[in-house]
A and B are shown apart, each in its own frame.
Chain A
Amino acid sequence: MTDETPNLGANVQSYLAREKRLRLITWATTIFPLAVFLTLIYLTVRQQHKFQNLRQQNANLISQISDNQKKLDRMKADIGYYASQLTPSVNISFANEGQRSKANAIAEQLKKLGYDVSVDDQPMGKRISQNTYVLISSEKM
């Protein structure tokens, strides 16, 4: 017994030191993964919030594009409607009485094309030439 007691005492001291070390290691090995886990969760959540913001911005932009497309379509429809309400109008003047029949013939052709045509009652009184027709076009509602 007396031989074993100092040996046991040394063993116990060594054991106690080892246990103390193990307690520290236990703490570290538990808290370290916990800290890593928390850090990963924090980083993941932060990235997710960034992605959510980007997705929200993307959705807003798509909504704006859609709204603008609708406005554009409405404007096109309005322009089409107003354009359909316009009638092209042509007024034909001629230089002298000899050109009246030719002016009337042109007026007939233009009427067939949907133009609102009017021929002057009186000639403009200019000398006869090949190019004395004066066409004044305008548009009215």
Chain B
Amino acid sequence: MACSVTHQLTEVIDSDRRTIMTYCSIYPAVLAVAVGVSIYFHFHPVQNEPLLQLAGAGISAIAFPLVLSHVRRAEALRMLRLKLRQCHKLAPTDPDCVKIQEDVNAIIRLRMGVGN
């Protein structure tokens, strides 16, 4: 029998995985558009303006903020998985379960922007 927080923890982990998948699905779209625009301007230059080939880099900048969120979320996911593994090992009455539950609660409140 695992900790009672296991179910909630699993849901949070699943949500984080979905969020990361969302980021991962945005990158190829942005990359494809950036590469497409760069290739287009390479083969069809407008007024021989070489800087237009760098438009792809400008488009890629759209994805940069997501990379930071992605890294933070991936790190949090790794931590949550460790806690889930601990939950599976602990009995529901184990005092560590309470600590894990408090930690999960704190993480959720932090992410929702709710103060302690």
Which B residues lie within 8 Å of A16 (CB)? Answer: 11-12, 15
- In this assembly, does B86 line the interface, its C-beta being within 8 Å of a C-beta of chain A? no
Of A22-30, A80-88, A116-124, A127-135, the one touching chain B: A22-30
- Kindly provide the distance from the CB of B57 to the nearest chain A CB, expressed in whole angstroms: 12
Contact in complex: A48, B11 (CB < 8 Å): no
Contact in complex: A34, B66 (CB < 8 Å): no
Contact in complex: A41, B55 (CB < 8 Å): yes
A12-37 CB contacts (< 8 Å) to partner B: 12, 14-16, 18-20, 22-23, 26-27, 30-31, 33-34, 37
Contact in complex: A11, B109 (CB < 8 Å): yes
Known: A1-B98, A1-B101, A41-B55. A27 touches B47 (CB 8 A): no
Find B63's partner among A9, A22, A30 (CB 8 Å cutoff).
A30
Give bound CA distance, A26 to B22, whole Å. Answer: 8
Give bound CA distance, A18 to B5, whole Å. Answer: 20
**Chain B, interface SS category:** helix
Give bound CA distance, A14 to B33, whole Å. Answer: 35
Give bound CA distance, A18 to B109, whole Å. Answer: 12
Contact in complex: B19, A19 (CB < 8 Å): yes
Which A residues lie within 8 Å of B98 (CB)? Answer: 1
- In this assembly, does B29 line the interface, its C-beta being within 8 Å of a C-beta of chain A? yes
Tell me how many residue pairs across A and B have CB atoms closer than 8 Å. 79
Which A residues lie within 8 Å of B8 (CB)? Answer: 8-9, 12
Which B residues lie within 8 Å of A26 (CB)? Answer: 19, 22-23, 26, 66
**Chain A, interface SS category:** helix
- In this assembly, does B84 line the interface, its C-beta being within 8 Å of a C-beta of chain A? no
- Kindly provide the distance from the CB of A90 to the nearest chain B CB, expressed in whole angstroms: 66
Task: Known pairs A34-B59, A48-B46; list 15 more (Cβ under 8 Å).
Answer: A4-B101, A8-B5, A11-B108, A12-B108, A14-B112, A15-B15, A16-B11, A16-B15, A18-B112, A19-B111, A23-B18, A26-B23, A30-B66, A34-B33, A37-B33
- Residues of A in contact with B (beta carbons under 8 Å apart): 1, 4-5, 8-9, 11-12, 14-16, 18-20, 22-23, 26-27, 30-31, 33-34, 37-38, 41, 44-45, 48, 52
- Residues of B in contact with A (beta carbons under 8 Å apart): 4-5, 8, 11-12, 15, 18-19, 22-23, 26, 29-30, 33, 37, 44, 46-47, 55, 58-59, 62-63, 66, 97-98, 101, 104-105, 108-109, 111-112
